[in-house]
Every structure is written in structure tokens, then in C-alpha cells.
Structure 1
């Protein structure tokens, strides 16, 4: 069974790779662009829609005029971030993004705030992107609407498996659909503009545009701006993942960042302009992109191509998080603020533990929020803009402190970038606070506290394990030391005899210990013991409360059986192992329980003697 399971896992995640092959598992520009930028590129599929969700219910038809102004502000901010993060890539080629920048320039706690913000954002990226992908699918096939949570979870599982296959294979698996989306959306934008301005087509909205019912206020426009800033999530991922690029990694990363900005400019700007031409009205059943593509192409194959590629790119957007979060967790774990398991690469040289944890946590979010992007998005972008701000001001501080060639120019770029992202963070925090963003402001301090407690644990363990330079190993007179071996017994069988034979090889002072919880079973054991004429007496202790562990520990610590601090006490535990995985469910696993309790005792060594039981 285990062999079959291993073969299945190999088929799903691929064969093991040697550590030396890691250089072959890195991106070039062509494959790095879709993997590192799919989040930012895909955000255009719902960022424009979120702007309209804020404007249309208040100002109706006027929304399409102001949508362009809001979109231009977002594009300007995106280019500021692009230039700023190009400088981050130059200054920190080892990657790590906001976490490393903030920690290096502001100290540990600020770095942890940036790291916690990014962790939350990456988890939300997967939940939001997978849910948005499902929304694109159900817009094309409405009959699937009632199954949207199940579909979203299946998509996340698909992403986890794809990323466990390693960087190189995941780039090819997820890269091609990203390019298909870019070209199909650009074709839709071009054809949609030609159809109206040169073909004489007069668009008719799929849904009625509400009449004007409110005034255009600064708060309304800021609210729309905050909603549209989801288009900027994912820019951070390129600076986080510089080590994932082939050499020269910095040059490749900066090229990808620039190409990403140009693509987002064309796609986000183009879809925003089409929304104003075709007067798309957001609703929970049909996405804005679906409405626009249906007006442009009708019900022909191109409509389904747009919906299909949109659904794919939205789920591919999650791949940015699957690339960025495991790498971020590896940096944090190396500093001792996250479990060290996150630093270990899996059999395909990816940080598999981070990938699995991301998949599980994002799935929980999807279930809690029922796969609805409109409920998830208020939590989104708050964390990432906090990390943007800390990163930009961190770089500004670096240039002021270190100076160097061109430091004034660089400081201005990062200073302006920091100021803009700080203002945006305030806007997003205020406008989205009562809609769910308050949760993020609780989660970030909670995560920082957890990371500090993890680090405190590691420091305490290291302190207790540390050997001083002048500390000599303690000399022990082994000739005078007593070596006791205790072999617990429940039933006299082959498994126990194997453990007893091992015990004879390490000591002559062997104690067979039996806890009696059933008088009849104990009598049978003693009778059988006498029949086999084993030359070691059994110590029997009755347990009125049916506990096996308690009497054993009490016996070791009692005056009846005394082992001093210089003596060696070894408990040899027989344990039979079932080759089929389900067989272990049918047994009590008493040996595992004994080991778990005794491991906490300083003066006890534990040896497990397995006895393999083959099943047909």
C-alpha cells in the first residue's frame, strides 16, 4: 500500500530532484513574467469592477467619467512603485522584499510587521483569486453557481499540486495560460474600441444603469480609489523572489517588473476604458468583463475564450502567492521567527511546507466567506499597502544613512513612493475599516506576537543546549554506574521476545514490568510466563484506574526501585508495525503513548523495537 501511495505522490508531484539541480529550477524572463506577475495582471479582472461597485450605486451614469480619473491615479501609483522596487532589487539582491528592507533599516519589530502584513495578503491573494476565478466560470455557466465553494477548493488543490512539482514545471504549467489571457484581453480591448469608434456600434448596457441618487464627493472618490488599488497587489512579489531568477537575477527581476507595469497599464487601462464605453454594471451573478466581452463578441467562441482565460488567469494569480509566501516564510524562519520546517526544501526543491500551509489557510478562508470575492476584498490590499509603506520608507532611510552614488535621486523616488503608499494605506484603512478591514488590524499584531513567541522558544532551547567553550564533558565512571533496563509487557508474544533479546545485549539488570488492569489477563500472562520458563521475574503493579503510564513512572521513581542520577535507565518498548496504513487504526498504539509521556523525563532513555507484521 505504501509503495502504491508513493507512486501516486510521485505521479502528482514528480520525481525527487538533487540539491545540485536547483540552478536549473530558476526562472528566465519569459517564464518568470507570468509566474511573478500573474497576481497583478489578473487583478484587472476585478479591480475595475470594484471601482464601479463604489460609484454606480451613488452617482449612476456619471460613474464612467470618474472611473477613468480613478484608474489614472492607480496607474500613476503603480509606476511609482515600479521605480521604487527596482531600487529595492538593486539594494537587496538576496530577496525578501519588505520584510528584509524593514528589518534592516527599522529593526526587528518593524520587519515582523511587514512580514505579517505580507503573510496575510498572500493568503488573501489565493482566496480572492480562486474565488474570482470561480465567479468567471459561473458567469459563463450559471448552473454551477450553487457549487462555487467546491469549485474554488478544487482549484486551490490543483495549485498546491502544481507548485509542489517545482519551480520549472510550475512555470510552464501556469505560464502559458497567463500569456493566453494577456493576448485575448488585448484583442478584446482593441476590437471593442474599433467596434465603437470605427464600426458605428452603439453599446446597449446588459443591465440598467441606476439613476443619479447622490453627489460626487472626495470620500466617494477615495473609496473607489481604495477599491481599485487591488490592481497593485502582486508588485511586491518580484522583489521578494529575486533569488528565484536565473543569473543575472537582478537584471532579470527588473526586466520582469518593468514588463509587468506595461502590461497592467494596457490591460487595466483598456478594460476601464471599455467599461465606460459599454456601460457595464457590476452585479453578483455576471462579472463586468463577462458583460463587456458578451457585448463585443456576442455568444460566439471568443466570449467563451475570454471567460475561460479570465478564469485561468485568476487562479494563476494565486501562483504569485505560492511563489512568494513560501520564500518569505523561509526568510522569517531562518531568522528564528517561524517554524524551521519552512526553511526545508521538498523533494522538488520547492519550499513545500509553505505551499501546503498556504493552501490549507486559503481554503479555510474560502469556506468561511463562502467563496464570495465581494466579502473577501475589503480585507484585501490593507496588508500589502502596509508592507509597501514600510518598504519604501525603509529604502528612503537606507539612502539617507548610507548615501553613495545618486543617493538623492534614489531617496526622492522612495520618499515619494513611501508618502503615496502611506496616504493610500490610510485611505484603504478608513474606507474599508467597517467592511472587514478591522480584522487585518487585529491579525497583524497577533501574528507578530506569535512570531516573537516562536523566537523566544528557540532562544530558550538554544540557551539550554549551548556548550560553553570552557565546559568539559562530564567524566563518568561507567564501571560503577548501574544500567537498568525495563521492558513493559502486556502479552507474551514474538514482539515482546524481540525486545527482551535486545535488552539482554545492553544490560544484565533487566526488569519485566506489567501493569495489571484486568486480573484474568494478568493470570494468563503469568501462567504463560512460567510455561516458557524465562529466567527473569515479572514485576506486577495493579492499576485501579486502568492507567499504564502512571504505575510505570511511579515505579521508576519509587524507593522500591531506585535509580540514582548517575544511573542509566533504559525503557525498551516492543512495538509491532502493520505494513498497511489502515491496520494501525485497529490497534491501541500503547507504545506510542508510553513514548510520548516518557520523553518528558530527563533520566530515562527510550528504545523502540519494531516487529513488522506483513498482511496479505
Structure 2
């Protein structure tokens, strides 16, 4: 018992070593815990969260280990020590062995009873498979060892462009979204843009300060999903997660569409190709992120810094030019009003301008991706991000107002401002190129955060567990692919139009903001540590402002497309709850201990169910014709010394009679049962016959051994019936029926013929 518990914990057991050996695929020397507990400043437990390739298979609980120990006691009477016909440690083979590779090329001895697979062992056997693996390695790089995850962390100088690209690039379309709504009341109302911008700056400060506290309170992961789940309950956490999922998918769609729009402003000929170009950019982003977080950070850092220099420099030059003329305001061109100025219109403009804050939560989601000390470095980067955002947003809004610019269908506001600031020289082209690049790569923030969110949700059982899997480069590949496909579908459906996507954008963003900050208020109220009232007040202020934007966006943009998010969020929550219920049922069904303590009789019955000596076998061999494939399966079955039966399904009596005659000539060593199918159906009568056998004696384990012809080329498979797979689909509902196959290789037969 102690030995097994030690093995589960990852340390060698005391006393005698374990019998048997384990093979691991490059496992790490040590791991951070996937989910543990640590004490916070107030002495309370809080979760410790990090990524691990082993997250799908956590260690057994102490109760499960105890149940396993009790079950193992019943096995002792059935234990038989038998010599293995092959050395499991793969020591050098005897001379003349057919294995062509030296064992240490595939598996390297690590310690007694344990081998480590080398890259050679991970290559497929087929030529096509090996070509695919090598092509993937050329595209993505050589696979990283699992222990390299501890080194895949970001420095602050790399984390800033990786995590801030979405936030900072949003100033390229946020101000334009604000003015596009405001100008509906005519150019005379554009003066309201500065008060609205000032209110948005206050919102940025409040939300930024709130997330700084969130990062400190949850130093091992502070996304809205985790905070809301811990403080407000799992359903609220799922609501926040649904908003984040929509946020990240739309981040990719909006950023890429805005980047292509920036290119089209400078090169109008590219406008008709906006959707294909957008899809190509999404493909490039996917390939870059599949290479790993550190490599992706190094690739995508330069464009963000170029954008900061270009747009920041344009802002400073523009302010200097405005100061030289005494900050005189250039009158905007006349735009007729199509709507009356109202509180509702102002609220719509405020909600649209608030999209300049998208991505502000990226740092809190990615705290574990920083180098130690994680939370301190994350807060530093968050402070830089918010400061840069306020400078760029406020500066651009002031310059747009001073220059009298209005939104135009053929050119973005940023392009107009660059033309006005740099009427000659290469600077306009530099600003447009930097803007296009950062908009295209702003989606990288979503590529960094959404797979991590799906990982945590999969760990909790709310999304498929495949999102726990890491690829060759320790990237959460399934999450990256799901994000790319979803964004590509949405972008194509909306024809690459940024303004059509933004109404969907704001609701999901601020839903997550609001729930995260409300969760933080509840967090401080529960802890009641030093200064908790001040911290709770900061988060409450941020929650109040975020909720105002949320309600404004949902109400004012409902008809424009926000209804999609209003419908999608509860749909996603219900879907996640359904997935969780399924996993709960699976876990209960597979658990080593029942949900409730069983009665003594039931406990003995459960123990008997898993005793090897209590298993009753019967083997069934479907025989289509008497040939080498069938004979090989029959030979295998007879060698096991268990009750056996052969079954032949025939479309007519004459064929059945012919096979019985051949069977008698062979010697009738196994009972043969023939089934005549007058309507020429073969599979269904065979499946029904096997099901009837099982129903007559449900206590037996019925193993169906299907003779299988293994062809030499993949295309040749379509020339054969693949009855094993079809039979497995038909009989999978029966718990005591096992479907397997006995292969007969054509390449083996040809080699013998050649000799």
C-alpha cells in the first residue's frame, strides 16, 4: 500500500521495487503541481495552477488507492509467476534477430524498470507517416522535451509585445468606432468625443487598477474564469469563460480584418482580396504559435515595438504641430445628421469606444507564463500596458479632434491622421505598415490566452479533455487550432468587415471584465485581510463602470449584432454544463470506489467482478472462407485453451453446405455454426447472432477474433471489407463482448513466395 501511494506521488516506493516496467515518452524530471494548495497571506488555502502534460491523468486520491489495495488483496490467490518470452527491458537481442535497429536507438534505459522513448521511437512505421512527421518538424521545429516547459517562460520585454499587442492595437479601431457612431448625429456633435474619451480614460484606469489587484491576489493564474469560479461559483465562472471565449475569437477576427483594412487604405487594389488575405494571416499566426510560446513571442515582438515607435512618434509630432498653431481646431467637413442626438446615441458611442480596452485582461490570464516572480513581473507589464494605452488613446483622440477628421468609408482615421501629420516623406508608409502589422499580429494575444483558458476549463471537465494535450513544441495545439478555425469561420461569414464585428466584440469583453471584478470584491470580502475595504472599493468601482459599458453595449447594439453574443453566452454555458455532467458520469462509472459505501453483499460482488479466476471465456471466429487468414485465427484461438466457436454467414444454402464439407475435411476441430442469410446481408446477421449468444449467457466474456488481411499500401484498404470496425460499431453496446483481429500480412506471404 505504501509503495503504491509513493508511486502515485512520483517517488520510488520503500522496500521492494515494483514488478513490471514503465515506458515514458520524454517525461520531465520534476513537475509543478497541476492543482495543489498553498497558503495566502491570510492563512487560507488557494489553488496553485500551472500547465502540465500529465493534467489529463492526475494521481489517484487516497481513497482510491485504499480501494485499489483492498481489491488487490483478492488477486493474490490468482497470481501466477510466469517467465516472459521476451525481455521487457529490451536488452541487446541475440545474433540473427529480425529487429534491424539497436534497442538504444528507440528506448534508452533510464533506471531499473523504466525506459525513455527517443525521437526514433516516435516516428511512425509507414513511409507516409514519417514524411508527415518530418514535414511537421520542418514547419514547427524539433519537438521539445516535456521538462522544457519549465523554461518556456517569457521575459517582461517579450511579454509586453506578446500580451499588449491586442490592447495597444485596439487604438487603431476604437477611436474610429466611437466617432462612427457619434457622427450619425452630424459633424456638429463631434465635439462630444473628448468628454466621452475622458470617461473612457477613467474606465481604463479603474479596470487597470482592478486587474493589478487581481494579479496580486491570484499569483498563479487570475483569469476571469478562475476568479469568478472561485468567488462566485462555477456557473458564474462559466459565464465569464463564455464571454472570454467569444472575446478571444472575435479578437482574432477583428484584429485581422482591421489589419487588412489598413493595408487596403494604402493599397486599394487589395480590398477585393480582404477575406483570402485574412485567412492567410490566420494560418500564419497558427503556424507561428504552434512553434511554442517563447518562439512566437520572439517572432511577434518586433511589430508591436515598431507600432509603439511609429504611432507614439506620430502622436508626439502631431501634438507639437498643434501646439505650434496654438491648438487651433480645424473645423470638420460637414456631415448631415441621420439620427437625433440622444443619451442612447452617446451610450452607443461610449460602448463602441470602449473596444479600445480589449485585451486588458490578457496579463491576468497569463501570469504562469512569466518568469519568476510571476505576479510581480505580470503587474509591471500590466502597468506599462495601461500607461501606453492611455497615452496613445488620449493622444489620438485629441489629434483627431484638433485636425477635424471624420470617419470615411475609403480610408481609416489613423491613415487620415498620418497623412495630415506626415504629408511627405516615408513616415506615412511606416505608420501604415506598423499599424497593419500590429493589427494582424494583435490576434497573438488571443492565441496566447484562449488555449490556456480552455486548458483550465478542460481540467475542470467543462470542455473536451483534448484541450489538455500539448503539441510537439509544448503549445496547447488543439486550443490553437480551435481558435483559428472559429475565427476564420466568423471572419468569412461577415465578409471581413470590421464594423460588423465590433458590436459583437464589446459585450463579451465587458461581461468578463464585470464578473471578474465582482468576483474580486467577493474575494476581498471573504478574506478580510489588511486593507481589504480599500481593495474591494477599487474592484467595485471597476465592476460598476464595466457593467455600465456591458449594459450599454448589449442594449444599444442588440439589433446590430450583439444579440448573437446574448444568445451565444448561455448556449455555451449550457453546453459546458452538459459536458461536465458527462465527465461526472464517466468518473463515477470508472472510479475504483463507489459513490456511496456499498452493502457487504454488494462489496463482495464488486470484488468478484474483478477477480481474474472468475472470468469465463468464449471465443468466436467469423469465417468467410477457409483460407490462411481464417486458419491463423483458428490456430490462435485453439492455442488459448478456451471454449471456441466458428461462425459462417452464407447468402445461400449451397455455400453453407460447401463450407461444412471443407470443415469436415479439415477435421472439425472446432464447432462450426452456419447462418443462412437469404437477403444477402452478412454483417447484421453476424452481429445479431453474437448478441444472442451473449444474451443467453451474460456472465461470459465473449471475444470475437476476426481474420484480417493487412495490405501493403493504404489505398488497398478500400478493396477490403474492414469488417472488424463495422462489427465493433454494431456490438459496442454489449459490455462483455470484445472485438479483436488476427492479422495476416500480404507482405509476409510475398516474402515467403520470393524465398
Q: Same fold (TM over 0.5)?
A: yes
Q: Which of 170, 174, 180 is equivalent to 1:53?
A: 180
- Distance (whole Å) between structure 1 residues aligned to residue 644 and residue 410 of structure 2: 74
Deviations 1:206-235 (A, max 9, x none): x95414566543322221111011111111
Calculate the aligned-residue CA RMSD, in Å. Answer: 3.1
Is 1:551 the counterpart of 2:551? The answer is: no
List aligned pairs for 1:205-354, cutoff 5 A: 209-211=334-336, 216-298=341-423, 300-354=425-479
Change (3 A) 1:200 1:385: closer
Change (3 A) 1:388 1:519: farther
Which structure would you say has the larger RCO, counting Cα contacts within 8 Å and 6 or more residues apart?
1
Offset of residue 509 of structure 1: 3.3
Change (3 A) 1:349 1:213: closer
Offset of residue 92 of structure 1: 1.1
Which range moves more in the overlay, 414-423 or 492-501?
A: 492-501
Offset of residue 533 of structure 1: 7.7
Report if aligned partners of 1:164, 1:350 keep a CA contact under 8 Å in 2.
yes
What TM-score, normalized to structure 2? 0.75
The alignment partner of 1:337 has SS state of: coil
- Distance (whole Å) between structure 2 residues aligned to residue 318 and residue 480 of structure 1: 58
Which range moves more in the overlay, 214-223 or 8-17?
A: 214-223
- Distance (whole Å) between structure 1 residues aligned to residue 622 and residue 342 of structure 2: 79
Change (3 A) 1:589 1:357: farther
Offset of residue 613 of structure 1: 6.0
Is 1:572 the counterpart of 2:705? The answer is: yes
Offset of residue 44 of structure 1: 0.7
Report if aligned partners of 2:314, 2:421 keep a CA contact under 8 Å in 1.
yes
The equivalent residue for 1:474 is: 608
Report if aligned partners of 1:203, 1:295 keep a CA contact under 8 Å in 2.
no
What is the count of residue pairs matched by the alignment? 613
- Distance (whole Å) between structure 1 residues aligned to residue 494 and residue 706 of structure 2: 48
Offset of residue 203 of structure 1: 10
Change (3 A) 1:260 1:610: farther
The equivalent residue for 2:140 is: 13
Which range moves more in the overlay, 158-167 or 65-74?
A: 65-74
The equivalent residue for 2:646 is: 512
- Distance (whole Å) between structure 2 residues aligned to residue 152 and residue 408 of structure 1: 47
Offset of residue 46 of structure 1: 0.5
Offset of residue 7 of structure 1: 0.8
Q: Which of 489, 508, 517 is equivalent to 1:392?
A: 517
Report if aligned partners of 2:171, 2:393 keep a CA contact under 8 Å in 1.
yes
Report if aligned partners of 1:96, 1:331 keep a CA contact under 8 Å in 2.
no
Deviations 1:436-483 (A, max 9, x none): 111111111111111111111111122222233774521789789652
The alignment partner of 2:210 has SS state of: helix
Deviations 1:567-607 (A, max 9, x none): 22101234455676555456554322222232221110122
The equivalent residue for 1:109 is: 235
Q: Which has the larger radius of gyration?
A: 2
Report if aligned partners of 2:214, 2:222 keep a CA contact under 8 Å in 1.
no
Deviations 1:353-374 (A, max 9, x none): 1111111111111121111111
The equivalent residue for 1:486 is: 620
Offset of residue 254 of structure 1: 0.3
Offset of residue 612 of structure 1: 5.5
Is 1:86 the counterpart of 2:219? The answer is: no
Deviations 1:391-443 (A, max 9, x none): 11111122222211111210110111111111111111111111111111111
What TM-score, normalized to structure 1? 0.91
Report if aligned partners of 1:89, 1:95 keep a CA contact under 8 Å in 2.
yes
Offset of residue 40 of structure 1: 0.8
Change (3 A) 1:371 1:505: farther
The alignment partner of 1:438 has SS state of: helix
Structure 2 residue ranges without an equivalent (≥5): 1-127, 751-755
Report if aligned partners of 2:708, 2:743 keep a CA contact under 8 Å in 1.
yes
Is 1:460 the counterpart of 2:546? The answer is: no
- Distance (whole Å) between structure 2 residues aligned to residue 436 and residue 118 of structure 1: 17
Change (3 A) 1:204 1:486: farther
Q: Which of 247, 257, 272 is equivalent to 1:121?
A: 247
Q: Which of 719, 724, 739 is equivalent to 1:606?
A: 739
Change (3 A) 1:587 1:225: farther
The alignment partner of 1:558 has SS state of: helix
> Which of the two has greater helix per residue?
1
Offset of residue 505 of structure 1: 3.3
Change (3 A) 1:609 1:18: farther
Q: Which of 368, 376, 379 is equivalent to 2:501?
A: 376
- Distance (whole Å) between structure 2 residues aligned to residue 458 and residue 491 of structure 1: 44
The alignment partner of 1:540 has SS state of: strand
The alignment partner of 2:738 has SS state of: strand
Change (3 A) 1:531 1:8: farther
Report if aligned partners of 1:134, 1:151 keep a CA contact under 8 Å in 2.
yes
Which range moves more in the overlay, 413-422 or 537-546?
A: 537-546
Offset of residue 546 of structure 1: 4.9
- Distance (whole Å) between structure 2 residues aligned to residue 270 and residue 476 of structure 1: 72
